[in-house]
Amino acid sequence: MQRWFKSLSVMLLVLLSFTAFTVYAQDEAATKAYVIQTAAESETFSDWLSGYPDYHSDAWGPDENGNWYVEFKTSEDGEWLGYAAVNQDTGEIQEAFAPKPLSTEVYQEQMPRVTAYVMADIEVLARLDNNLDLWDMYPDWNRWDATWDVGFYRGIEGVVVKLKFDENDNLYIEKIVDPNELSEDEAADQQRNDAINLAYSAEDIWQAMDGHDDWSTYVEKQGENIYSVSFADGDTTLATVIVDIREGNVLKVQVD
């Protein structure tokens, strides 16, 4: 009798657990469908997605604030169409972005306003040595940044002015950038690559890795232009090279 009761208790526990999991899964699927539909019907995406009848959507969440991240693509592996953050409790769109092109009418209306504004800006003119005739100008709408980008080029020199219209249709310059200047992340990656390439040129480095087919490199910044590059096979360090990327010199090689 006691054994039968225990078996029944186990069966009931398993059944309750399965039922709870099923209900949770159904609720999660329903919430996911809800936030995707909410995003798709929002002002940002309703017209945009109509041009892609076979679009693919997916959602992840919720985060600690009850927000889901919704993403749209032209197909499962296709071009990215944008994202939205949707609150599962209120249905409020926390943020959304879609890389939309401007309509022909808006493009043609805004273009002359943008170029005239840029060509009259004191800071822009100063960047161009107060001589527009020396520069080739290329204005265009950047749908990925949602800005008007006006590029000025003279040989290898370049200046890009990024502009936006505010909610009152007033134009303003968001920033002026040098297109030849790397971003902070790009510059850091470039410095790391330079350090690794210098380390490869160190004497005896390849002999230290002889017989090791699955080695990796680890880079650490030691000073303003000084980096250490370690070559390791799993947990075993094979060699460490100290380099100066500004001078292009190998300062020290330690083979373990």
Domain range list for the chain: 15-97, 104-177, 184-255
Q: Is the pLDDT of residue 16 over 80?
A: no
pLDDT at 8: 45
Q: List beta partners, residue 167.
A: none
pTM greater than 0.75 (yes/no): no
pLDDT at 224: 82
What kind of fold does domain 15-97 have according to CATH? Nuclear Transport Factor 2; Chain: A, (3.10.450)
Cβ atoms within 10 Å of 87's Cβ, excluding its own: 18
More confident of the two residues 97 and 77: 97
d(CA 239, CA 210): 11
Q: What is the mean pLDDT of residues 93-113?
A: 93
Long-range pairs for 26-32 at CB < 8 Å and ≥24 separation?
31/62, 31/68, 31/88, 32/59, 32/68
